[in-house]
Amino acid sequence: MTLQPGKKAPSFSLADQDGKIHTLKEYAGSWVLLYFYPKDDTPGCTTEACSIRDNWAGFHALKAVVLGVSVDSVKSHKKFVEKYSLPFTLLADEEKKMVEDYGVWGKKKFMGREYMGIARTSFLIDPEGKIAKIYENVKPKDHAAEVMADLKELMK
């Protein structure tokens, strides 16, 4: 991974579950959790999304923006958000530009089969648009609490 804490986060322009375009620039001045996940409505990804949803009051209280990103379609994101009542934005990177810019797209192995996919990784971006922290090999169940603890520490 070539991105490092202290470096400027790569810009993006992607549609959310409602087709609305989001850019990193529009979140200047806010802390942003940018979390990359492999696939909508799969066990680990659902656990991670629901954990963030269940900790939403804490993220909201800290005025932190949460953006989930996968290569699934806008339509798939819409179903995922509605099925699990997710209160945050999911971005559709169908052209795989953002996952490549952030270095999270690559070879994966599952049950002896190799394929290309997203490594479950998150980036905490500070109000100036710089990467404050990178989370690799994210544990879906514990991730939201880990990020909130780091945010509270960084905001002191």
How would residue 115 be classed by pLDDT, with cut points 50, 70 and 90?
Answer: confident
Neighbours of 94 (CB within 10 A): 13
Angle at 108 (CA atoms; ends 4, 42), nearest 5 degrees: 100
pLDDT given for residue 69 in this prediction: 98
Q: Domain containing 135: what range?
A: 13-154
Hey, is 127 helix, strand or coil?
Answer: coil
**For residue 20, is it within any domain?**
yes
Q: What are 12-53's pLDDT values in tens digits?
A: 999 999 999 999 999 999 999 999 999 999 999 999 999 999
What's the helix, strand, coil split of the chain in %, to 5? 30, 30, 40
**For residue 1, is it within any domain?**
no
pLDDT given for residue 109 in this prediction: 80
Q: Any catalytic annotation for residue 45? A: yes
Q: Rounded to an integer, what is the distance from CA 7 to the centroid of its chain?
A: 18
How many structural domains does the chain have? 1
The one catalytic residue in 9, 33, 45, 124 is: 45
In the chain, the amino acid numbered 72 is D
**For residue 83, is it within any domain?**
yes
**For residue 116, is it within any domain?**
yes
What CATH number did the domain enclosing 84 receive? 3.40.30.10
Q: Compute the average pLDDT of residues 120-141.
A: 95
